[in-house]
Amino acid sequence: LEKNIKSQAKLNHQASRLIGIKGVAEITATAAVAFAGNGTHYHNGRHFAANLGLVPREYSSGGKQKLGKITKRGNSYLRRLLVQGAWSIIRYVGKSTDRISVWAKKLIERRGKHKAAVAVANKLARIIWSMLYNQTEYRAN
């Protein structure tokens, strides 16, 4: 089954473009294309990430706005794949100099590895939506 998915990812133009993103492999790319299509169902990348449950829950009362943990709503399979891809970026963050790794390194120093993993997964989701919606190639820097 895994070989079949990998071969399908290479044949699908959208999925093959997504494989160029650091932290996104064949299985994640095919799952993203199957879930999002060409991305036109979502107004922007934040809506796509929210549909995956990768945005913080908001608690508001009396004019105070508090952001909590992620909502965990939506497609749990794709969310899990994106978080695993984020962990692969975080694991080698010290050895990489690309933009997402540098950003993740600063985030780890401020917030810790676990929150950074979810934030990187959120960023990956937004990048995926942008590439699908705009039909563009991935530019690392």
Q: Name the pTM for this structure.
A: 0.89
Quick check: is 139 in a domain? no
3-state secondary structure of 118: helix
Quick check: is 31 in a domain? yes
Alpha-carbon distance of 105 to 113, in angstroms, equals: 9
pLDDT digits (tens, 9 = 90+) for 20-36: 899 999 999 999 999 99
Are the beta carbons of 32 and 18 closer than 8 angstroms?
yes
pLDDT digits (tens, 9 = 90+) for 58-69: 888 888 888 878
- For the chain, how many structural domains are there in total? 1
Q: Is residue 70's pLDDT more than 90?
A: no
Which domain does 26 fall in, by range?
Answer: 2-134
Quick check: is 55 in a domain? yes
Quick check: is 141 in a domain? no
Distances (CA, A) of 51 to 59, 83, 109, 112: 18, 15, 28, 24
Quick check: is 110 in a domain? yes
User: In the prediction, which pLDDT does 4 show?
Assistant: 84
Are the beta carbons of 52 and 125 closer than 8 angstroms?
yes
Q: Model confidence at 119, in pLDDT bands (50, 70, 90)?
A: very high
Quick check: is 109 in a domain? yes
Are the beta carbons of 109 and 119 closer than 8 angstroms?
no
Quick check: is 81 in a domain? yes
Opening angle at CA 99, ends 87 and 33, nearest 5: 60
